[in-house]
Each structure stands twice: as C-alpha cells, then as structure tokens.
Chains A and B, each alone.
Chain A
C-alpha cells in the first residue's frame, strides 16, 4: 500500500528534551512538508523540502530542525528551544502524477505533549 506513515502516534516529552518525529512516504513524491496544528486552528507550515538534501523554513520554523537525507524520509526534531511544543504535527508529501504535482497528501499525525 502506498502512503505516508508517521510515528509515534503519541509522544510525551519532558521540558528541556529534544524529540524527533518520524515521517516516511513510499509514494515516490519529491516534496515533503511538516505542519503544526493547535486546538481549533488550521495548519501552519514549519519546514518543507522540495528535493533531497535541501529544505526551507516555513512560517514557524523557530525551535524546530529537519533533515532530508533520503527521498522517502523527512524527520522533524522539536528542540528545547521551542517554547510551546504541545500540538498535533502533520507530515505531507506532494509530487505525484503529472497534473497533480501540487496536491499534498497527509500522514495520520503525531500528538506531542510536553509534561
């Protein structure tokens, strides 16, 4: 089955710790994205990557870091510098069939809670 997987589904972090959220896709998509969703709000872009070994900051990149060493994988690290990391994190990818390269498809998300 082709799709996007995110792990873990739930993640708990103590203050001052870094944590890494996993995102993997087997859709052969070139672009991958990370979004944050706070309760009752829409999604906000953290980072995105159009190709391997390249990524760009989104609107709320402070306190986060990413890497793109493989086409299939785009992990997100939430650092201790992120002041309020408790949120729902969604990963997406795009770059499928010609004529549909801009449509983003989403993973199931990771719920991060800071204790």
Chain B
C-alpha cells in the first residue's frame, strides 16, 4: 500500500514570489509515476505536472517544476512567479500498481 504525506496543510505566497510545497511518499514499487494536481474552488481536479520515477531529470511545466528525490521518496512542487489564479488546494499523488493515491492536500493562498 502507498502512503502520502503533505506536511503543510496551508501555505501562503506573495504574488510574483516563489513557493515550494512538500510531499513525501512510501511505496514498495520500483516503477511508478508521480503527479501534482490542483483543485481550485470550482473543485475540478486539474493536472499540474507529471514525473516518471525512472527519470532523473526533474519535470518542468512553465512556472511549475518539481524536485524529485527518489531515494528520499520526496516530491516537492515549486511554483515560480506566483499568480492569483494559482490559489487552490494542491494534491500530491503517486501512481503505482494501477492506483493513484492522494495526499491530504496543501491549501495555497496567493496574496496580492
């Protein structure tokens, strides 16, 4: 079974600044994927970024990037140049054994 820990229930960032959301996980699988999803007030789950565990290179998607440390089972999300539209609940979710397991989420507030 997989477990996911997001130790920051809430975070805030000033508009245009950078923020990092942390995530640690535990899995017995050697081949897996890792995802970050965001859930704005509309409650639609939106894919932010995807990382294959076998790749050493950290994934990037425009202002979003990850710091993937496989040995430490850590998968943090960095948001650069934060915008008001980034305000949402962010979920870390490893995928293995055909299942996606979600953390409890980090509520991000962006301050104007």
Contacts and interface: CB of A to CB of B under 8 A. Distances in A.
Interface of A: 33, 37, 40-45, 48, 50, 58, 88, 90, 92, 100, 102-106, 108-109
Per DSSP, chain B at the interface is strand
A36 B50 CA distance: 22
A106 to B, nearest CB: 4
A6 to B, nearest CB: 10
Nearest to B42: A108
B16 interface: no
**Which secondary structure characterizes the binding site on chain A?**
strand
Contact of A109 (B44, B91, B104): B44
Interface in B22-67: 33, 35, 37, 42-47, 50
Given A33-B100, A40-B105, A42-B104, 11 more contacts: A41-B104, A42-B103, A43-B102, A90-B45, A102-B33, A102-B95, A104-B47, A106-B44, A106-B45, A106-B46, A109-B44
A50 B100 contact: no
What bracket does the count of chain B residues touching chain A fall in?
Answer: 20 to 34
A13 B4 CA distance: 33
B42 A45 contact: no
Interface in B82-112: 91, 93, 95, 98-100, 102-105
Interface of B: 4, 33, 35, 37, 42-47, 50, 91, 93, 95, 98-100, 102-105
- Among A37, A42, A43, A104, residue most surrounded by chain B Cβ atoms (within 10 Å): A42
A45 B99 CA distance: 8
A43 B95 CA distance: 13
A43 B91 contact: yes
